[in-house]
Amino acid sequence: EYIRSVYFNKLETARFSSSVEKFVGFTEQGQKYAEDCNSDASIVAGMRATKEIVCQHYSQSIYDNARTRP
């Protein structure tokens, strides 16, 4: 799962979660940020692409290393 959080003054205001595939806001400011990001398809598509690049690449290499160890 890929999670990208947005913080303001050490408080998590919004988060993108690949399991939900959209931004979720936790504060009033975070909800506005999430609405803006979710309404722009290119931002959400970029986050999905980042998940594929980062998570799937590294999970495959970790799996391969685990299989080759005695």
Q: What is the pLDDT of residues 11-69, one digit of tens each?
A: 999 999 988 999 999 999 999 999 999 999 999 999 999 888 887 767 666 666 666 76
Global pTM value: 0.73
| Cβ contact 33:27 at 8 Å | no
CA distance 20 to 51: 12
Q: Quote the CA–CA distance of 40 and 38 in Å, as a whole number.
A: 5
- Which H/E stretch holds residue 68? helix 57-68
Return the ∠ at Cα 7 (arms to 24 and 62), rounded to 5°.
Answer: 75
Task: In whole angstroms, give the CA distance from residue 41 to residue 7.
Answer: 22
CATH number of 3-68: 3.10.320.10
